């Protein structure tokens, strides 16, 4: 098991693939851990260095007291990548992971040469909505909201599969502190202006059934950066890397090839 001790927080991460290969870094969504990418990584080309991590309050990383700020979450991965000696990675971020991707790209262009913004936006939801969610989860646990969350995460057919139950388990076992900590970080984030200034290769990915960050919202952010590409995955909700891993890996592979990362 790999743990990076960053002083105020210890982060759990995995560093797979070719240690000398071009790095690709993956950041997970709210309420999920690095297993989010389990089905995609084996389908990517050989020769890449594949790094993923559990953000603060999630998975096996430390769960520090809420609330968190987006600045803290960006600084965590910045320090993790410095610790690992990573430069010029392709950063793939899903949902809050995609917000972290935007924040990191704006701050550290030496670390990020291209971004994949999956099921994310420069701004997700309104502060009132996040305040309601934080209150509901603090009072009733994640189970209080699991139904609507899982409906946003997955398309109806997927919710009838045995695999669905495992993802539900991941969600409801998520520590409340880490969950509401990250809700606060999302609530306080509006990256429209900084993201508009980015000039780097960018691929946007959306899921046709995504109830959290619908395709039009993802597209709006992707279009802030001239020359960006956009791909809609059908028959998938907020987590297309889970529902359609083959297509997800294919789109990502094509992008990595186009920008000469493989
Ligand atoms: O729970 C949701 O609505 C999905 C989600 C929003 C931000 C994130 O990271 O996941």
Helix, coil or strand: residue 25:
strand
Q: How confident is the model at residue 153, as a pLDDT?
A: 98
> Ligand 1: which atom is nearest the Cα of residue 149?
1
Quote the ipTM score.
0.95
- Burial of 216-248, coded b for 16+ CB within 10 Å and e otherwise, reads ebbeebbebbeebebbbbeebbbbbbbbbbebb
Helix, coil or strand: residue 30:
coil
Q: Hey, what are 234's tokens?
A: 């059908």
- How many domains are contained in the chain? 1
Question: How far is residue 71's CA from residue 25's CA, in Å, rounded to a whole number?
Answer: 18
CATH of the domain at 113: 3.40.50.1820
> Ligand 1: which atom is nearest the Cα of residue 96?
9
Cα of 184 from ligand 1 centre, angstroms: 12
- This prediction has a pTM of 0.98
**CA angle at residue 236 from 44 to 48, to 5 degrees?**
10
Q: How confident is the model at residue 7, as a pLDDT?
A: 96
- DSSP state, residue 151: H
Ligand 1 pocket mutation pick from 95, 137, 172, 207 by most atoms within 8 angstroms of CB? 95
56-to-74, 158, 166, 224 alpha-carbon distances in Å: 11, 28, 22, 28
Q: Per residue of the chain (262 residues), give pLDDT as tens.
A: 999 999 999 999 999 999 999 999 999 999 999 999 999 999 999 999 999 999 999 999 999 999 999 999 999 999 999 999 999 999 999 999 999 999 999 999 999 999 999 999 999 999 999 999 999 999 999 999 999 999 999 999 999 999 999 999 999 999 999 999 999 999 999 999 999 999 999 999 999 999 999 999 999 999 999 999 999 999 999 999 999 999 999 999 999 999 999 9
Q: How confident is the model at residue 257, as a pLDDT?
A: 98
Q: Is the CB of 11 under 6 A from ligand 1?
A: no
Domain that holds residue 215: 2-258
Question: How far is residue 199's CA from residue 56's CA, in Å, rounded to a whole number?
Answer: 28
Ligand 1 pocket mutation pick from 212, 213, 237 by most atoms within 8 angstroms of CB? 212
């Amino acid at each position: 098991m790999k743990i990076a001790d960053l002083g105020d927080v210890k982060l759990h991460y995995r560093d797979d693939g070719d240690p000398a290969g071009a790095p690709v870094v993956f950041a997970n969504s709210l309420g999920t851990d690095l297993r989010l990418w389990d089905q995609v990584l084996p389908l990517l080309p050989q020769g890449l260095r594949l790094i993923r991590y559990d953000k603060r309050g999630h998975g096996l990383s430390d769960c520090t007291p809420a609330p968190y700020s987006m600045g803290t979450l960006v600084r965590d991965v910045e320090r993790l990548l410095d610790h690992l000696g990573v430069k010029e990675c392709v950063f793939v971020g899903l949902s809050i992971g995609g917000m972290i991707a935007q924040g990191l790209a704006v701050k550290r262009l030496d670390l990020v040469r291209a971004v994949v913004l999956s099921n994310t936006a420069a701004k997700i939801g309104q502060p009132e909505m996040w305040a309601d969610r934080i209150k509901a989860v603090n009072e009733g646990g994640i189970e209080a909201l699991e139904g609507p969350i899982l409906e946003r995460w997955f398309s109806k057919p997927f919710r009838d599969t045995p695999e669905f139950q495992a993802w539900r388990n991941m969600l409801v076992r998520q520590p409340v502190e880490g969950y509401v900590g990250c809700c606060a970080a999302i609530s306080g984030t509006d990256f429209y202006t900084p993201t508009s200034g980015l000039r780097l290769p960018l691929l946007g990915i959306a899921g046709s059934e995504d109830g959290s960050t619908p395709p039009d919202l993802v597209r709006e952010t992707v279009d802030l950066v001239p020359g960006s590409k956009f791909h809609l995955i059908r028959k998938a909700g907020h987590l297309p890397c889970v529902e359609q891993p083959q297509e997800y890996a294919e789109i990502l592979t094509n992008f990595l090839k186009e920008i000469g990362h493989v």
